[in-house]
Amino acid sequence: MHRRLVRRLAVAGCALSLLVTPGLTTAGASAATPDDAAAAPAAERHGGKGGGHHHGDRDEARRVGYFTQWGARDRDFLVKDLVTSGTAKRLTHLNYAFGNVSPDGKCFEANLGDEGDAYTDYQRPMTAAESVDGRADKPRQRLAGNFNQLRKLKRMYPDLKVMMSLGGWAWSTHFSDAVRTPESRREFVSSCLDLFIEGNLPRIDGKGGPGSAAGLFDGIDLDWEWPNYPGDVDTVYRPEDKENFTALVAEFRRQLDKAERGRHDRDRGRGHGHGHGHECDRDLLLTAFLPASSAAMDAGYETRKLFPHLDYATVQGYDLHGAWEKNTNQQSAIHSPDDSLEQVVDDWLERGAPRDKIVLGIPFYGRGWQGVEGGGDGFNQPAAGAAPGTWEAGFEDYKVLKEFAASGEYEVYRDRENGHAWLFDGNTFWTYDDPQVIAQKAEYIDDRDLGGAMVWSLDGDDDGELYRVLDRGLD
């Protein structure tokens, strides 16, 4: 195992990353073999270290996780589950997915079906059994729902940073329109900060109002999918998105820094003495989610201009392949003759991204095909289409795939050298990350001196199992 002799991974770029020994090297694909053995204990693989996360310790990698709005609404995955599973104490940053952008280019909260769910965000009353602190919401409190639970979570874990993530696959529709001019960018950013940083939520059915969510969010995560590159079917994109995205990030940084100076003026009674050069000096952070595709990188991002404004960026480390393709494949291998995490990281580094600001994405779900032909282990074979899934075709949470693996109906296959695993029952194929693969990815992040790991999404885990392995591997 390649290990560094001196290791100073930084949360927030507060320490320089030093690499003494070489990182992993790429080799040819190893022969895949059935593997039903359980993953080796992470403590054994990483020198007997414990799994608890030490908030406030700057000498560690970022641990980022996405909490989905619809997870609480549709999947019965509540903020409280982050506490009971032990995941909350291991996180450094929690991204709330998602905030939407209106057709007139503003952040907004409303109850508009598929376009907005203010009820889940801050209106839904939580019972004592559903609440982080075991206390039921009161009828007249201004903040309820997920937002109030996140506020309680922050009280329990004061060093945890909670970010509002804007956009996502379905809600990136109007980004391009919102950022076309300096005036529209200023108004867009101002609307987002007013809503989520100042906490001035609209008053709806007795909830919200001026300052009702003040202090809840510690920054903004930009999840525009994608500038000047095709995304969801109705997402607008145009060539000028590339320059406009850089300008948008700069405008967010400017207004966030201004808001932070205002906070210090009000709260501490002193002018501009608080530094704004690094994430470790900042109270209000700015991050972005960036693509795995090199074509999307070149189309939409001025990398060297972009990163000085960002505290870090989470990089898509999944969906490299899926059932939109005819043949089965891996969706998130560390190494591969075609698409791989190694290639994604190298592509961003070559374009000028600082390695300590690259937070590599890891999937807590799998991609699947059915009607697979050719027999054998099922890998890279023609398929009829997407496998049935609980929430959508071709997609399944790790906690469900774990049951498939344990059922005896599927064989577990593993390419240890290249870092990926899959399930195959002779007809249906699932590529997914289990504890062994997660441990390998944590080691890869460590060996390459990257800025940490991000997970999409926390509701796919099985009572915190995968996040425990990830956390131990990053120690």
Domains of the chain: 11-30+57-366+438-474 (3.20.20.80)
- pLDDT (tens, 9 = 90+) of the chain, 475 residues, equals 333 333 333 343 443 333 333 333 333 333 444 443 333 333 332 233 233 333 333 358 999 999 999 999 999 999 999 999 999 999 999 999 999 999 999 999 999 999 999 999 999 999 999 999 999 999 999 999 999 999 999 999 999 999 999 999 999 999 999 999 999 999 999 999 999 999 999 999 999 999 999 999 999 999 999 999 999 999 999 999 999 999 999 999 999 999 999 888 877 665 444 444 455 678 999 999 999 999 999 999 999 999 999 999 999 999 999 999 999 999 999 999 999 999 999 999 999 999 999 999 999 999 999 999 999 999 999 999 999 999 999 999 999 999 999 999 999 999 999 999 999 999 999 999 999 999 999 999 999 999 999 999 999 999 999 999 999 999 8
Provide the 8-state DSSP code for 417: T
pLDDT given at position 27: 32
pLDDT given at position 265: 81
pLDDT given at position 60: 80
pLDDT given at position 53: 39
The per-residue pLDDT for range 52-63, each reduced to its tens digit, is: 333 333 358 999
Rounded to the nearest 10 degrees, what angle do helices 435-447 and 465-474 cross at?
Answer: 30
Contacts of 275 (CB under 8 A, 6+ apart): 281
pLDDT given at position 9: 34
Q: One of 60, 130, 198, 225 is an active-site residue; which one?
A: 225
Cα maximum dimension of the chain: 71
CA-based angle 368:370:374, to the nearest 5?
A: 110
pLDDT given at position 280: 61
The four Cα atoms 151, 157, 160, 162 give a dihedral, to 10 degrees, of -10
Query: Measured between alpha carbons, how far is 251 from 67 in angstroms, rounded to an integer?
Result: 26
pLDDT given at position 51: 33
Query: Measured between alpha carbons, how far is 427 from 413 in angstroms, rounded to an integer?
Result: 14
Phi-psi region at 189: left, alpha or beta (left = phi > 0; alpha = psi -120 to 50): alpha
225 in catalytic set = yes
